[in-house]
Amino acid sequence: MTLVLVAPNMPFGFVHETVPGCEHPGTVVGIFHVKHHFMPGCSHPGTIINTVICFCLSPSCLVLRMILTDGQILAEIEAGTIVIEPFSPACLGSNSYDVHLGRTLATYVDATLDARKHNTIATFEIPDEGFVLQPNMLYLGVTQEYTETHNHVPFLEGKSSVGRLGIDIHATAGKGDVGFCNFWTLEISVKLPVRVYAGMPIGQLIYFEVQGAVINPYNRKASAKYTDRQPLPVESMMFRNTF
């Protein structure tokens, strides 16, 4: 799907050949009025603009690539294209699935890390009374849940209640790949000291549809660095890259 901004006085009459990959060239696309706050970067908040949503109106092409709903997540689990272990219906949101903090945390052994070297970690378990995370530290955590995603792109995002405690659960690596089959390592940092507990809700998985065939899913890539199944935090494998 392609979004194209047009001026409010621009005449209607776009045709569908602007959208690559459609088998129905010449079909008229839809036009919608949207509030400007959906369009970042404009200096005129609140103004109405015209947006052409470029998709074919032919029924066989009218498929928008979106986030999966709860019902679709359940359907994909039934089909085996999404795996979540353990799975609980109570953790299924309207368009996400809640994941929980595993018992094991880790910190790097060395105070200074080197991107070209193997930086080792020391693991420890969160006691029943919880563990207080400290600011200016990087902790590696892990989800309790093992997941597989074969036909969609999974994203791991923080929960609102977790964010309001000042907890970040990933530094940059919130996106999984099609074919990712493993537990999720969390890159945890905090703004204030905060006590955390094994089993607490820590994040949510959302699933995006993809367009086109995946040639090289993650679990079949020879270069994939995080495929060993283990319910433990995994340190950076940057040193395996050539640079």
Residues annotated as catalytic (active site), given as ranges = 187
Cα radius of gyration rounded to whole Å, the chain: 22
Token pair in block for residue 220: 């079949």
Ordered DSSP codes for 144-159: EEEEEESSEEEEEEE-
204: β partners: 98, 157
Of the candidates 74, 80, 81, 64, the one whose C-alpha atom is nearest the C-alpha of residue 97 is: 74
CB atoms within 10 A of CB 107: 13
The answer to whether the CB of 231 falls within 8 A of the CB of 102 is: yes
Coil, helix or strand at residue 101: strand
**Element (DSSP H or E) covering residue 30:** strand 30-35
Query: How far apart are alpha carbons 87 and 90 in whole angstroms?
Result: 9
In the chain, where does DSSP find H-type helix?
70-79, 160-163
Angle (nearest 5°) at CA 174 between 164 and 93: 60
